[in-house]
Amino acid sequence: MKKIMSALYLKIKTIHIDDLVLIISGIFLALLLRYLIRSYSSGDYEKYYKVWYETIKAHGFAAFNLLLSHGGGYDYSPMYLYLLYVVSILFSKLVSISAVKLVSVIFDLMEAFFVYKIVRLKFYQGPIPFLAAFALLFAPTIILNSSVWGQTDSIYTAFLLASLYFILKKQNWWACLAYGLAFSMKFQAVFFAPFLMALFFKKEISWKQLLLIPAVYFVMCVPAWIAGRPIWNLLTIYIHQANETNNFELSFPNIYFQLPDDLFHLFFPATLVIAASMAFMYIGSIYKSHIKMTRSILVQLALVSVVIMPYFLPKMHDRYLYSADAISIVFGFYFPEYFLIPVLINLFSFFVYESSLLGMNTISGEMLQIGLTLVVVYLGKIMVTTLFSSHGKISNSYDDLKPLDVPVDLKEDNLP
């Protein structure tokens, strides 16, 4: 502990006083904003989160058996229950709605931290990484998701950002550990999986490292197994979740937005083949490219993965562009000439939230579908240009990836 505190003190000493003021002020305002809107009670909170938290608070560890048993009312990955359990112990005086939202807000901060770390890899000096972190903290859907809706998307996305950071640092064991935690939290972490598989086929990640992902998932199931839920049920929980609805989409303006649900059973297998085909084309394109996998290119490919998967997969909910919201902000700082992409992605998410959460329809779902389609097509064009055109705008501008304010002889892979 003494060594940790000493290292932290030395790190703080290196921060300029104006940067320190910026950091403290930004975090304070971000938390104040979340505090002021904390009392909003959504339907999901009343029906699910409040019940889960109050059961845990009343029964402690025994609540895992109550909630996870057949008919117990909890049919999700158990990792979230563990987090609620910790909060119920550390912040026992908090009212339920504040305690539930506190979990997500903590991971808002973790997201911002890894956005800062990723952007710091490019901008070795200066305030730009701090600005990137605050762009994340003050993004409308990031705020609405955790502090108004009380949802949990910040949790798995924080681990996805951690995984991306460790990939950029070539620390693949840590990257797979982080992804394992993301997948243990929510199945939506699968949007990032084509990116990891592409890196596996490019021999950037080994099969041994990928095996850490299911190992982490299994370990995260053990406490719930001890509490009484059958292990096979825990291992197949995402399969049960996927079978709960028979809708092409749930208020998400992807490619299936206007398909009638009465044709679901006829076309559902085809939608899975379409999604698998898109993932195959994405992975195959990266595999066949001979371009060096620089940090900028990896950031770009990560964004494409978390955009195209919810766009082509069926049964997508209104919040499923959340990880793209976060990673697109990183992309915007790596590729400032494409700043409209993160702006548009976050706006699409915001208008979907506006409809689902607040009952407002500023922009119709059909218009959002057209706009999102154009973004997907444009991102695909940028990716193909990057991977296969020696005259591509991105590959020429960022091929060497020398950060600002760093001597030109300092190569990318040697950056801290």
Give me the residue label for tokens 């706006």.
Answer: 347
Poorest-pLDDT segment among 35-49, 149-163, 220-234, 401-415: 401-415
Please determine, for residue 300, whether its predicted confidence score (pLDDT) is greater than 90.
yes
Q: What is the pLDDT of residues 225-279, one digit of tens each?
A: 888 888 888 888 888 777 777 777 778 889 998 888 888 888 889 999 999 999 9
Mean pLDDT calculated for residue range 14-35: 84
State the pLDDT confidence band at 412, using cuts at 50, 70 and 90. Answer: very low
Mean pLDDT calculated for residue range 80-101: 93
What per-residue confidence (pLDDT) applies to 248? 75
DSSP for 10-66, please give it. HHHHTS-HHHHHHHHHHHHHHHHHHHHTTT---HHIIIIIHHHHHHHHHHTTHHHHH
Bigger pLDDT: 172 vs 232? 172
User: Residue 216: which residues within 8 A CB-CB, separation 6 or more?
Assistant: 176, 177, 180, 181, 183, 184
Bigger pLDDT: 184 vs 16? 184
State the pLDDT confidence band at 201, using cuts at 50, 70 and 90. Answer: very high
Bigger pLDDT: 183 vs 411? 183
Mean pLDDT calculated for residue range 67-80: 78
Most distant CA atoms of the chain, gap in Å: 63
Other CB atoms within 10 A of residue 21 CB = 11
Mean pLDDT of the chain: 87
What per-residue confidence (pLDDT) applies to 393? 47
What per-residue confidence (pLDDT) applies to 219? 95
What per-residue confidence (pLDDT) applies to 63? 85
What per-residue confidence (pLDDT) applies to 336? 94
Poorest-pLDDT segment among 30-34, 44-48, 162-166: 44-48
Please determine, for residue 375, whether its predicted confidence score (pLDDT) is greater than 70.
yes
Q: Which amino acid is at 60?
A: G
What per-residue confidence (pLDDT) applies to 401? 45
Contact 368, 352 (CB under 8 A): yes
* Helix (H), strand (E) counts: the chain: 22, 2
State the pLDDT confidence band at 402, using cuts at 50, 70 and 90. Answer: very low
Mean pLDDT calculated for residue range 23-35: 92
